[in-house]
A and B are shown apart, each in its own frame.
Chain A
């Protein structure tokens, strides 16, 4: 596709419900990132994939958060037993390669509200 695509754009979940957020990176992009952005704040790193390998998951806030990219393309961020503090925008991003000068492109985000 032309850009990073995320779905759903908006999700309202009841506390305790599990949610799954999908990311379609730009075709051919090796690196994929997930970020969490609270209202009025900058994006915070969650996790990073290079192809199907999850090389860095140091930003995942708890073991309720799980991300996968089984075939090295589409990625899913899963949040189990959602809590109100999980309410945020979840941004997916991709870049062609790992190299530091490769531009990281962001999707429009999935807006999660936990009630």
Chain B
């Protein structure tokens, strides 16, 4: 079946470096993607989203890149800080019929080393 998945389960970076978290998706019908951050013991927190008719979108210290040719999504975090340590999920949003479903990947643990 269709799925959204991540290449790297754990990513360790030095404080101040840039982080890149990758995600592969397989549902070619998806037209909307979201990155969520989940800290230990908390619910997922929205970071940034992108539509399939875009290839790049920037937020505050974060950039999402979408490559539809290879069905690849990435999240770039500039000047990574200790507070960025968390699990990051990519997700696709699908509207089918009367449904409204968000499908998550398995997540990447980002560890920021001082």
Contact = CB atoms under 8 A, between A and B. Distances in A.
Contacts of B99: 48, 55-56, 58
B24 to A, nearest CB: 14
Interface in A37-73: 40-45, 48, 50, 55-56, 58-59
A100 B43 contact: no
Contacts of B51: 101
B81 interface: no
Contacts of B98: 50, 55-56
B103 interface: yes
A26 B114 CA distance: 37
Given A42-B106, A101-B49, A56 B43 contact: no
Given A42-B89, A42-B107, A106-B45, A100 B95 contact: yes
Interface residues of B, number: 26
B26 to A, nearest CB: 15
A79 B54 CA distance: 41
Contacts, number: 66
Interface in A1-49: 4, 31, 33, 35, 40-45, 48
A106 B43 contact: yes
A interface residue count range (under 10 / 10 to 19 / 20 to 34 / 35 or more):
20 to 34
Interface string A69-85: 00000000000000000
A95 to B, nearest CB: 8
A103 B46 contact: yes
A42 B101 contact: no
Contact of B42 (A35, A45, A108): A108
A16 B105 CA distance: 31
A101 B100 contact: no
Interface of B: 31-32, 34, 36, 41-46, 49, 51, 89, 91, 93, 95, 98-107
Interface of A: 4, 31, 33, 35, 40-45, 48, 50, 55-56, 58-59, 91, 93, 98, 100-101, 103-109
